[in-house]
Each structure stands twice: as structure tokens, then as C-alpha cells.
Amino acid sequence: MPKLRVESFTISLDGFGAGPNQDLTNPLGIGGTTLHGWLFATRTIQQTLFGHDSGDTGTDDAYAARGFHNIGAWIMGRNMFGPVRGPWPDDTWRGWWGDNPVYHVPVFVLTHHPRPPLVMEGGTTFHFVTEGPAAALDLARQAAGAKDVRVGGGVNVIQQYLRQRLIDEMHIAISPVLLGTGERLFDGVDLPALGYACVRQEATARATHVILARQ
């Protein structure tokens, strides 16, 4: 049965999944980029994001690669799509990823403000969903067919699906950095009460990888 998955979502030692004050200079909030040293070093991300035939293999890379396996659609929040707030002033902002984003499948962006679908190169189309998380999930599952749906973030979007016990599996990477402030992934979320448990953990020099699954 297809799953709803979170993959390669990285938090700091003090639990933050993003820094404060996201803008064009700080797409992950102030300090947020430091979380992802493990991910950017992998061969998977060097090839996928930058087209480089380089990068580390091994455990970190295996976790990065699994995030693209059997994914038929993505869901993300508007903050992950970009720093624009309020009604869309125009269609100028087209995401952080250039003309050929890394997704190559339909992506459903949660927003309060309508916008026409944005068709990109490589099979990625951004659909802007104003009817809420349940509607986005229904559309993503229809688009994914027999494949899984990946929830990309940010923190608030993941929390909404977690609190409804809709996420089947989460890969969380814990990075050995401290942010001090920002958005805590599990703030106000009682994972055991919701039926989640840690089913796997593995540490590398750059991160501790944890798999949480709904029991």
C-alpha cells in the first residue's frame, strides 16, 4: 500500500528543523543551512542538485537516495516553495531550484492564496492548493498512483500530518549543531500517544539517522 513519507528532514541537537527569518539570503532561516552538511556532501545530492559526478557514498548517501525511491508526488508548504508572503504579487517567483527542479513529479504546495499551476522542465508541475492539507493529500495520492507521497516540509506542514496520524514513516537526520531558535519539529507533538516509535537508528560522522514509523 502506498505510504505518506517524510525523508531526509534534518533537525538540530536542540530540535529545530529551520532557523528564524527565512528570506532570499537565508532560504532555511538564519543558521538553517548548517543543518544539512551531511546531505549536501552526498553523491545523491551533488548529482541531483548540482549535476556533479562527485560526492560521498556510504550511509549518509544511502539515506539521501532513499528519499527519491518510489516517490510519485510531493507535498510542501508555501514557505518551502519560497519566501513570498501574502497574495502572490505576480508569477515571477518560480521556486529555489531553477527551471528543472529536483522533483520530476507533481508537487502540491499548501497556500492560502490561489495561483495557476506552474509547469517546469523535467516533469515537475507545482500545483497550489488552497483547500488545506487533506485536499492536498488527496490530490497527491491521485497523482502518485501506486507510488508513495513525500512530505517535504516545512515544520508546520509535517506537524499537521503527524497530528492526524497520516504519516506512515519518517526519516529524521539529527545534525550535530545547535540553532538556539527557530521552528522545533516536535514542539507540541506527542509521538508515543500518536502511535509512533523509533524502528531504526544509525550514526555517522555527520548525522544520526532515525526512522520513526506508525505502529
Confidence at residue 153, expressed as pLDDT on a 0 to 100 scale: 87
- In this prediction, residues 45-49 reach a mean pLDDT of 92
Q: pLDDT at residue 38 above 90?
A: yes
- In this prediction, residues 70-95 reach a mean pLDDT of 94
Can you give the CATH number for the domain in which 200 is found? 3.40.430.10
User: Which residue range(s) make up the domain with 59?
Assistant: 4-86+94-214
Q: pLDDT at residue 28 above 90?
A: no
Q: Cell 527557530 maps to which residue?
A: 182
Confidence at residue 89, expressed as pLDDT on a 0 to 100 scale: 92
pLDDT in tens, 105-163: 999 999 999 999 999 999 999 999 999 999 999 999 999 999 999 999 899 999 999 99
CA dist 110 and 131 (Å) reads 8
- In this prediction, residues 15-41 reach a mean pLDDT of 92
Q: pLDDT at residue 23 above 90?
A: no
Grid cell in block for residue 193: 500517544
pLDDT bucket at 49, cuts 50 / 70 / 90: confident
| C-alpha distance from residue 17 to each of 138, 148, 189 (Å) | 26, 23, 14
- Tell me, rounded to whole angstroms, the distance of Cα 76 from its chain centroid: 7
Confidence at residue 24, expressed as pLDDT on a 0 to 100 scale: 84
Confidence at residue 51, expressed as pLDDT on a 0 to 100 scale: 87
What's the structural domain count of the chain?
1
Q: What is the 3-state secondary structure (H, E, C) of 84-151?
A: CCCCCCCCCCCCCCCCCCCCCCEEEEECCCCCCCEECHHHCEEEEECCCHHHHHHHHHHHHCCCEEEE
Q: Cell 515571477 maps to which residue?
A: 92
CA dist 121 and 98 (Å) reads 9
Q: Which residues of 163-201 are buried (b: 16+ CB within 10 A; e: fewer)?
A: eeeebbbbbbbbbebebeebbbbbeeeeeeeeebeeeee
CA dist 157 and 80 (Å) reads 10
pLDDT in tens, 159-215: 999 999 999 999 999 999 999 999 999 999 999 999 999 999 999 999 999 999 999
